[in-house]
Amino acid sequence: MLRIAIIADDLTGANDTGVQFCHHGFNTLVIIDPASINDLNVHPGKVLSINTNSRSMKADEAYTAVYNIAEILRNKKISHLYKKIDSTLRGNPGVELDALMDASQAPLGLVIPSFPANGRIVRDGNLYVMNTISSSRLPSAELNMKTHCYIPEVLKQQMKRKVGLIELENVRKGTEQLLEAIQQAQKEYEVLVIDAVTEKDLENIACAIKSLSKSIIAGSAGFASYIDLSWNVKGNPSKQTIKKIPDDGVTLFVAGSRNPITTQQIDELSKVTNCVPVALNPAAMIDIEQRKQEIERVMKIILNNLYYSNTVIITVGNQMAVSEGYVKIGSIIAKTIGTIVNQLSLILNIKGLIIAGGDTALNICNSLDVAGINLVTELLDGIPFGYLYGKKLDGLPIVTKAGGFGTPDAFVKIYNMFSEFDNNAEGIQLL
């Protein structure tokens, strides 16, 4: 039986890449804790999208995490493996690709991080975001910072393998010529970064590399949507239904990401909806006692204002500038948000979770003791919808997104979609 797995370095990446396989008729389960793989009773036909939670790890730790998972998957007879990397190259993309190639003994790694639908493109080996050179590696708040965004150089600094580039002109010469260029470059390089600016470029690449079955593909969710062309695989297309969401209950929007795009999305949502907004104070996270008091303050604001609205927006306040200090307490903030959501789940009927930020999503799922997420569809490009899997909140609707994904009105659109799910008694059938 066909067995497919995705290895991602954070939870939102596992989700937004995993959902691409749903479009091709595959049932996809996101594994939140990779240590639980052997304990889960998963149908062999499911696509597994595994979160290694290794983006903020040190290089040697990230290598070990990915290598160990690759070994487990090899023993499970996984036939196709996709390495999801961040479309702005955060984390340890080179180190993790090295680990996967070592474990699988793959002769070639193909790196395709472009995601045109979300404004990420690669030209001349340079990564561009929203038509400007990516600055995601520059702010002091980011981990593992680099001062450039020429992808071959970024990977070269992290890998033991030689890294080359296939430029856009070769991509656009046609599939046969592109394959020839890759095979020629493979004589000198073990890893190749491939330019792509448009969806058609991604499609050309996918068709060209069909015969390179022993290579490891490392890409974003953007290229994952074309992977069926490379692997020549098909699922079992069937109509899926987004079930009616109960009228009563609370919808939680949780934005742990401080990305300015997420901030704008929250601002737009606040303008057009009645909601209960509450901002967590980062400065109160350092001291344990202050943290407890902050949790109590946030809970009190929410519970005292639910008569006003059944939509709650939890954000992180701006009292502390994005600085080294914020990086150090970032994980504490994410865990604190997870604690708040768990406490709310014990008191309230939560009917939906919409979460921005991979660390935030992971900590919420951990606090709720969730085993995984059964993915269903994308509500918007790169923004998947699914249901929690396991324990007390099994079947709870959840939407996750990376901090930098989506248009300014993304949360407004999701809010309106949830209202539609509320009002449709029979659920909504997906084609």
Of 231, 251, 277, the last residue of a domain is 231
Do 259 and 153 belong to one domain? no
- The confidence band for 318, taking pLDDT boundaries of 50, 70 and 90, is confident
Q: Please tell me the predicted confidence (pLDDT) of residue 423.
A: 63
- The confidence band for 37, taking pLDDT boundaries of 50, 70 and 90, is confident
Do 31 and 99 belong to one domain? yes
Q: Please tell me the predicted confidence (pLDDT) of residue 38.
A: 74
Q: Please tell me the predicted confidence (pLDDT) of residue 139.
A: 38
Q: Please tell me the predicted confidence (pLDDT) of residue 246.
A: 73
Average pLDDT, the chain: 88
Do 293 and 214 belong to one domain? no
Do 244 and 227 belong to one domain? no
User: Which of these ranges, 43-52, 150-159, 308-317, 387-396, has the smallest mean pLDDT?
Assistant: 43-52
Q: Please tell me the predicted confidence (pLDDT) of residue 243.
A: 77
Do 203 and 246 belong to one domain? no
What number is the average pLDDT over the span 30-35? 90
Number of domains, the chain: 2
Q: What share of the chain has pLDDT > 70, as a percent?
A: 88
What number is the average pLDDT over the span 102-125? 95
Do 122 and 156 belong to one domain? yes
Of 231, 260, 275, the last residue of a domain is 231
Do 178 and 112 belong to one domain? yes
CATH number at residue 271: 3.40.980.20
Residue 90 has pLDDT above 80, yes or no: yes
Q: Please tell me the predicted confidence (pLDDT) of residue 325.
A: 52
Q: Which domain holds residue 59?
A: 4-231
Q: Please tell me the predicted confidence (pLDDT) of residue 431.
A: 42
Do 275 and 381 belong to one domain? yes
Residue 191 has pLDDT above 80, yes or no: yes
CATH number at residue 35: 3.40.50.10840
- The confidence band for 328, taking pLDDT boundaries of 50, 70 and 90, is low
Do 295 and 165 belong to one domain? no
User: Which of these ranges, 216-225, 271-280, 330-339, 415-424, has the smallest mean pLDDT?
Assistant: 415-424
Q: Please tell me the predicted confidence (pLDDT) of residue 419.
A: 86
Quote the Cα angle for 65-66-71, to 5°.
105
Of 187, 211, 231, the last residue of a domain is 231
What number is the average pLDDT over the span 225-240? 82
